[in-house]
């Protein structure tokens, strides 16, 4: 039976990353996978994470299962981090959450609840969006529709087109929104535009589903969550999928949370009960290590302050890289790359064709997706000149 299965091609992003690793060119540049890298090309471990991990190792006396909903410190800390400690939804007891295996697991649990509530729900996703959104949400049986979002001509959000498309979203539909640092384009909604989306939710009755995987990597923890918080104040219910992979560096620990804002406290409790049943059939019990680390950081005043300072430094480096990349590309090509400095987070479209992206790989060992999406953090002082000259050569 099993020998009938054919070999499938690797994931496009992971396949390119593997090709980059195998490339022996001394000046190769890997801009593929969305993992933060420091100036030495390493994905660093936060000092706050190291200290929390040491405390955990000293105190841990069992490897028994976690509670089904996960770490209480982690869940409560993530709610405060995303919504702000004084948010009306928290004060009203309308927020609940479950720990999940990374942002991916969080997205899947939210999709399970959407399907349980309305099997006919249509999920509206931005064009473009993170490619894994479709299989993660669609694997439960949900259908999709696209709304226009990114305008390659302006390198920004085409908000008029977005609103025009989302006017077709019906009550019972779901609109997937990127909370900040849009993956893959880096172009974010303004706070005013978030307010327009809230108006549409109130008028049309669709459910907002916010994926926020990069809080703290755009303008800061509070600034990056401002749109989500505004929406949560205005709408009766919503789902949030959050990840600690990027802002705590817990990539391999798979640390995430699905957060529900409900109409009533009773509904918030019901949503958790539904989420636990869904989790039981998907992955059974939550992993412990990453959530215990993150939970310790979020409740320990000293560790929290240390982590926040490290995250500010990381965010500052990303924004400095954006300026440096803009300056180098403009000097090398005599073209306008101001949009790179204006975007947020780790990603940007360079505006190159697929043919140019392929030439960059084959002729210059500069690896990016065929869409010309790059991971900003893959650039450093050692490779930025080669990167800029290579782009100039294919242009």
DSSP letters for 45-97: PPHHHHHHHHHHHHH----PPPPTT--HHHHHHHHHHHH-TT-HHHHTT-EEE
How many Cα atoms within 13 Å fall on the side-chain side of residue 253? 22
Task: List 101's β-bridge partners, or say none.
Answer: 255
Name the catalytic one among 28, 37, 51, 246.
Answer: 246
Backbone angles phi, psi at 381, to 5 degrees: -60, -30
Would you state the torsion angle of the CA atoms of residues 371, 375, 80, 282, taken in this order, to the nearest 10 degrees? 60
As a whole number of angstroms, the distance between CA 229 and CA 282 comes to: 29
Name the catalytic one among 30, 165, 188, 211.
Answer: 211
The separation between CA 296 and the C-alpha centre of its own chain, rounded to angstroms, equals 22
As a whole number of angstroms, the distance between CA 255 and CA 234 comes to: 28
Name the catalytic one among 37, 51, 130, 194.
Answer: 130
In the block, which residue shows the tokens 């104040």?
233
* 211 classed as catalytic: yes
* 323 classed as catalytic: no
Query: Other C-beta atoms within 10 Å of 254: how many?
Result: 21
Q: Hey, what are 275's tokens? A: 């989420």
As a whole number of angstroms, the distance between CA 178 and CA 87 comes to: 20
Let me know: does 181 contact 129? Beta carbons within 8 Å: no
* 246 classed as catalytic: yes
Nearest to 385 by CA among 368, 370, 369, 364: 364
Q: Which residues of 104-137 are buried (b: 16+ CB within 10 A; e: fewer)?
A: bbbbbbbbbbbbeeeeebbbbbbbbbbeebeebb
Query: Which residues carry out catalysis?
Result: 130, 211, 246
């Amino acid at each position: 039976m099993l020998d009938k299965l054919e070999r499938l091609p690797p994931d496009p992003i992971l396949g390119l990353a593997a090709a980059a690793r195998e490339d022996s060119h001394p000046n190769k540049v890997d801009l593929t996978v969305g993992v933060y890298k420091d100036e030495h090309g390493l994905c660093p471990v936060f000092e706050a994470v190291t200290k929390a991990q040491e405390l955990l190792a000293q105190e841990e006396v069992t490897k028994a299962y976690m509670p089904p909903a996960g770490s209480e410190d982690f869940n409560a800390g993530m709610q405060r981090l995303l919504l702000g400690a004084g948010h009306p939804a928290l004060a009203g007891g309308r927020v609940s959450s479950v720990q999940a295996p990374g942002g991916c697991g969080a997205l899947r649990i939210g999709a399970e609840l959407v399907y349980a509530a309305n099997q006919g729900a249509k999920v509206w996703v931005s064009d473009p969006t993170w490619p894994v959104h479709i299989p993660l949400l669609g694997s439960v049986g949900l259908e999709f529709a696209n709304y226009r979002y990114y305008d390659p001509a302006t390198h920004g959000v085409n908000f008029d087109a977005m609103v025009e498309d989302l006017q077709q979203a019906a009550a019972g539909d779901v609109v997937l929104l990127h909370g900040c640092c849009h993956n893959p384009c880096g172009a974010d909604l303004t706070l005013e535009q978030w307010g327009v989306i809230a108006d549409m939710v109130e008028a049309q009755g669709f459910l907002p589903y916010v994926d926020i995987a990069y809080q703290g990597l755009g303008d800061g923890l509070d600034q990056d969550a401002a749109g989500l918080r505004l929406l949560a104040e205005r709408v009766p219910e919503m789902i949030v999928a959050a990840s600690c992979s990027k802002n705590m560096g817990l990539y391999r620990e798979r640390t995430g949370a699905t957060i529900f804002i409900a109409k009533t406290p009773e509904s918030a409790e019901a949503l958790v009960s539904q989420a636990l049943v869904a989790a039981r059939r998907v992955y059974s019990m939550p992993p412990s290590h990453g959530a215990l680390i993150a939970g310790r950081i979020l409740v320990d005043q000293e560790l929290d302050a240390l982590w926040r300072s490290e995250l500010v430094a990381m965010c500052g480096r990303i924004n400095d890289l954006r300026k440096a990349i803009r300056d180098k590309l403009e000097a090398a090509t005599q073209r306008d790359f101001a949009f790179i400095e204006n975007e947020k987070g780790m990603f940007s479209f360079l505006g190159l064709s697929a043919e140019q992206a392929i030439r960059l790989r084959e002729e210059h060992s500069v690896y990016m997706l065929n869409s010309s999406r790059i991971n900003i953090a893959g650039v450093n002082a050692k490779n930025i000149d080669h990167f800029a000259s290579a782009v100039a050569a294919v242009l």
